[in-house]
Structure 1
Amino acid sequence: MPTNTPPRLSLALALSLAATAAWAQSATPAASAQPAPTRAAADTLGVGLLVTSEWRPYRGVGNVTQAFPVLQYENAWLDIWGPVADLKLHDEGPLLAVLRARYIDTGYDAGDSPALTGMQDRKNSVWLGTKLQWRTPVAHLSAEWLADGSRRSKGQQLNLKVETLLNAGPVRIVPRVGLQWLDTKYVNYYYGVSAAEARTGRAAYQGKSALNPEIGARFLYNITPSQSTFVDVSATALGSSIKRSPIVEHAWVPAVRLGYVYGF
């Protein structure tokens, strides 16, 4: 079950983990910052645990901490890691192209906060789309387009990201910067207030599309050849159309993710 912690404790946890490590929209396998080889013939399989601690932007909701079991599996055509499943269309040389399905936990229940009383629940969704990645010796550049496959919001999103690889002894560090575009339907579903939901102190609100910049870093460490761990810290700045919503309280959304995987 989600648990709430005070804002200062959440920020202190994020800063502490970042300093100690000196995981991953989003927990994904490590980037290598090197051109990829041709398709691997052997299958890889792993199981593990993912713990996420994210600061939700909604009024009165605060920090939400959750734990999930994860499955990691990859062969020449399929790549599964936790909430993300990719069907590889091309994975040779510097270019990766996949069809993607991703489960994203962005919704809320009206009972999560007194400030949301009278709102209709906003449901999580499975998003479907594609991702293109260009891998160079210096950095990886990627573009991910997704549409709401569950038809909750009927929205779309586009995620652009640049990440690179640094080595600090046995620890691999993958810093990144990103930019997320959310269309009007997405913003209205998750951050809008309909006329029927309006209350004293909560006016009806209909937002427009938004741009959310993100910075983050992933710290990876192999305990043994078959066991690996990671810590990922990030902060996302919400676009003005989201920040103006009467149900939104925070302009920045920090997150910490920790993961452990045992490979077979």
Structure 2
Amino acid sequence: MKKTLTATSLLLIFSCFSTQAKQAPSPKRQFSAPQGFTYGVGVAVKREIYKGYKQRVVPLPLFGYQGDKLSVYGPFISYKLYQHNQVKVSALVAPRFEGFDESDSDYFEGMEERKFSMDAGLGVDYKPKGWHLSAKLRADVLSRSNGYEANFKVAKSYRYGPISFGPDIGLTYLDSHNVDYYYGVRASEATADRAFYQGQSALNKSVGFSASSPMYGGFVRAGINHTWYDDAITDSPLTERDASLSFMLTYSRFFN
């Protein structure tokens, strides 16, 4: 699973596509969001916190569709249920590409595979001028962890000519089922070097910065994110770091 795309990286892909535009709008003119099928390429780099990992470099083929209500970008699906002024409510489906198997590290030898899953739930976005507040609640629908995740993020955007950029801060709450599945050690898996560990709920904190611009007939976006993990995760014998840095660079465009 060393080539598996991480959840953090995939979420950055979703952010990239959901903010696509052919040109930056001028103050005096309004443009409707472009619609249709998209394609592109990218690369994701992430420093892992599991023992036996250093970093993952993942090439990204990007395909998607942007409609008035439906957005599909690979395994990410968003359907707009309600919108009024700057408030939008959407139904969401997203993959959880986390976990490991024995081939990922010698430290995982004798452990059962922790599989990826699919999460589904609701998201609320509020976009007052220059700001973006988002909240998402999603639960495992494949009965891997039987857990759920809640996210809250605040982002500020600035514009310099065609370039849009800005920082963001976020909180991610993982319930005990989620943490125990991906970071716990079962009694049957415990060894002298790998103690039994039962994960509890966790609250992770993150900061990020992103920039995007129309370029070469398409749309380029770069993003960097730093996450600090809760003690419920870093106390696990499966981890060796308390923070992770990820970077994403993508280029996408609409089919003509």
Alpha-carbon distance between aligned partners in 1 of 2:173 and 2:123, rounded to the nearest angstrom: 15
The residue number in structure 2 matching 1:120 is: 112
Distance 1:24 1:93, change over 3 A: farther
Alpha-carbon distance between aligned partners in 2 of 1:48 and 1:91, rounded to the nearest angstrom: 29
Kindly indicate whether residue 47 of structure 2 is the aligned counterpart of residue 75 of structure 1: no
Equivalent residues in 2 for 1:43-192 (5 A)? 43-192=35-184
Kindly indicate whether residue 241 of structure 2 is the aligned counterpart of residue 258 of structure 1: no
Distance 1:200 1:245, change over 3 A: same
Query: What letter matches 1:218 in structure 2?
Result: S
Alpha-carbon deviations, 1:175-226, whole Å to 9, x = none? 11000000000000000000010011110000110000010111112114x3
The residue number in structure 2 matching 1:212 is: 204
Q: What secondary structure is seen at the aligned counterpart in 1 of 2:182?
A: helix
Alpha-carbon distance between aligned partners in 1 of 2:20 and 2:65, rounded to the nearest angstrom: 16
Alpha-carbon deviations, 1:125-171, whole Å to 9, x = none? 11101100111003111100000112111010000000121123442
> Which 5+ residue runs of structure 2 have no aligned equivalent?
4-8, 26-31
The residue number in structure 2 matching 1:246 is: 237
Query: What letter matches 2:19 in structure 1?
Result: A
Q: What secondary structure is seen at the aligned counterpart in 1 of 2:139?
A: strand
> Which 5+ residue runs of structure 1 have no aligned equivalent?
4-22, 35-39
Q: Quick check: 2:20–2:219 contact (8 Å CA) kept in 1?
A: no
Q: Quick check: 2:207–2:225 contact (8 Å CA) kept in 1?
A: yes
Q: Quick check: 1:2–1:66 contact (8 Å CA) kept in 2?
A: no
Q: Quick check: 1:24–1:231 contact (8 Å CA) kept in 2?
A: no
Cα distance, 1:65 vs. partner?
1.4
Q: What secondary structure is seen at the aligned counterpart in 2 of 1:119?
A: coil
Cα distance, 1:245 vs. partner?
0.2
TM-score of the superposition, structure 2-length normalised? Answer: 0.87
Cα distance, 1:81 vs. partner?
2.8
Q: For structure 1, which segment, 201-210 or 56-65, has the greater mean C-alpha deviation from structure 2 after superposition?
A: 56-65
Alpha-carbon distance between aligned partners in 2 of 1:256 and 1:131, rounded to the nearest angstrom: 24
Distance 1:107 1:146, change over 3 A: same
Distance 1:31 1:73, change over 3 A: closer
Cα distance, 1:108 vs. partner?
1.1
Alpha-carbon deviations, 1:53-110, whole Å to 9, x = none? 1112100112111122222311122012344210110134101110000012111112
Q: Quick check: 2:130–2:158 contact (8 Å CA) kept in 1?
A: no
Q: What secondary structure is seen at the aligned counterpart in 2 of 1:26?
A: helix
TM-score of the superposition, structure 1-length normalised? Answer: 0.84
Cα distance, 1:52 vs. partner?
1.2
Choose which of 155, 178, 194 in structure 1 pairs with 2:186: 194
% same residue? 29
Q: For structure 1, which segment, 67-76 or 114-123, has the greater mean C-alpha deviation from structure 2 after superposition?
A: 67-76
Number of aligned residues: 240
The residue number in structure 1 matching 2:6 is: none
Q: Quick check: 2:45–2:56 contact (8 Å CA) kept in 1?
A: yes
Distance 1:99 1:241, change over 3 A: same
Distance 1:55 1:109, change over 3 A: same
Q: CA RMSD in A?
A: 2.4
The residue number in structure 1 matching 2:28 is: none
Cα distance, 1:228 vs. partner?
1.1
